[in-house]
Amino acid sequence: MDVMLLAGTRPEAVKLAPLALALAEHPVLHPVVVHSGQHPGMVEQALEPFGLVVDAWLDVPPRVTGGQAELVAGLLPALDDALRRHAPAALVVQGDTTTTLAGALAAFWLGIPVVHLEAGLRTHDLAAPFPEEGARQMVSRIAALHLAPTLGAAAALRAEGVARQQIAVTGNTVVDAVLEIAARDLPARDTALALLEMELAEAGERLVLVTSHRRESWGEPLERTLAAVQLIVAEHPDVQVLFPAHPNPQVRTQVETALAGLPRVTVTDPLEYPDLVRALRLASLVLTDSGGIQEEAPTFGTPVVVLRDVTERAEVVEAGCAWLAGTDTARIVDLAARLLSGELRPAQVGNPYGEGNAAARAIAAIEELLAVRTATPATAS
C-alpha cells in the first residue's frame, strides 16, 4: 500500500525523511517520494544524508516569472497525473509551501486522503508569514489527517472545528531528523565551515550563526539585520559570524555588500543539512527567520533570536529557548549581547517539539486512517 510523500523544498524533504525511513521498514505501507520541482536539486541534496532518493519527479514546465500563480499552474496538472498513475492510499504533504497547497488540492479533488505533516501552526495573521499562513489554513480545511507537532497546534485545529479523531499529536519529525544526523557526527563538507571550525577551536572564539531567507525579510528588513550583524561583530571581539546566504542574486548581493571584508564574518552558500546541523551544535547563538531552525536549535540548547515579529512556533518562545526580535537593529543587538554575556540563558527544558519519536507516532496515525492492521507475533502456549 503506497503512501506518497511530496516534497519540493529542502525543509520539506528533511521533515519527510524520518517518515520515509519508518515507512520503508513497515510491513504494509510503502513510501513513494515525489519531488515537485519547486526547488530543483535541493530535495535530492536533503535526502542524501538519510540514504534516501527521489522515486519520481513531476514534469513541471520551467518557471519564467517565478510567481506563485505560475508555479501552481504548472504543479496541478503534473500532480494530477502523478496521483492517477501511482494511485497512493494517501498523500503526505508537509508544512506550508506552494507544493504543499497544490498537492493537497490535487489529492483532495481525486478523493485521495491528505495527511498534513506539521499541521496546526498558526499566527492567525494571513500577512505574516506570507503566503505560508494562508497555505497552512487552506490545507487544514481539506486534510483527512492532521499530524500536529504540539498540543498547542492541536488546540488551534480544534478551535477551527477540526474533529478530534482527525488530529494526532506526534511531535515534529525535524527532531527525529536532527538527532539522526547529529548522531553520525559527520565532518564539515563545506570548506569555509571546516576552516571556521578550526579557527574557533584555535582562538577559543564563539560562533554566531545567522540565516535570513524569507521573502518578507528581503530588502529593508535584511538591511536592518545586516546592520545588527556589523554591530555584534564590532562589540564582541571573540565572536565569529557564519552567514549561509540565500541563493537569490539580489539577496546574496545585499549580504555580500554589507559584510564583505568585515573581519570575523564568513558568508557561504546554503549549507547542506549535515553541515547546518554541525553549525547549530557549534553555535553559541543563532539569529534566524527560519522556522525549521527554531525547532532544531533547542535540541542542542542553542539560544535563538527570531528575526520575525511573530512566529507560528510559539512553543519555542514560551519554553524560553528563543526570543522575538523582528528586524529591529537595536533589539537584535541588545538580545545578542545579553545572550552572549550570559545575562539571558535558554531554559534547559529539552526540545518542546519532541524527543525524536514523531515518525513512529505519525505512522501509527496513518495506520489508523487507512485501517491498516499489522500482524503481531502469536502468543506462546
Positions annotated as catalytic residues are: 96, 118, 132, 213, 215, 246
Count of Cβ atoms closer than 10 Å to residue 40 Cβ:
14
Q: What gap in Å lies between CA 358 and CA 84, rounded to an integer?
A: 29
CA dist 39 and 36 (Å) reads: 8
For residue 299 the three cell numbers come to 535540541
Is the CB of residue 282 less than 8 Å from the CB of residue 197? Answer: yes
106-111 long-range contacts, CB within 8 A, separation 24+: 106/75, 106/76, 106/79, 106/80, 107/79, 107/83, 108/142, 109/80, 110/80, 110/83, 110/84
Torsion of CA 96, 97, 103, 106, to 10 degrees: 90
The C-alpha cell of 142 is what? 481539506
Do 240 and 200 contact (CB within 8 A), yes or no?
yes
The position carrying cell 517520494 is 33
With beta carbons less than 8 A apart as the criterion, state whether 302 and 286 touch.
yes
* Whole-angstrom Cα Rg for the chain: 21
Residue 230: other Cβ atoms inside 10 A: 17
CB-based contacts of 83: which residues, under 8 Å, 6+ apart? 4, 91, 106, 107, 110, 112
Q: Which three cell numbers stand for residue 368?
A: 489508523
Q: Which of 51, 78, 84 is nearest to 62 (CA)?
A: 78
Q: What is the dihedral of CA 19, 22, 25, 27, to 10 degrees?
A: -80
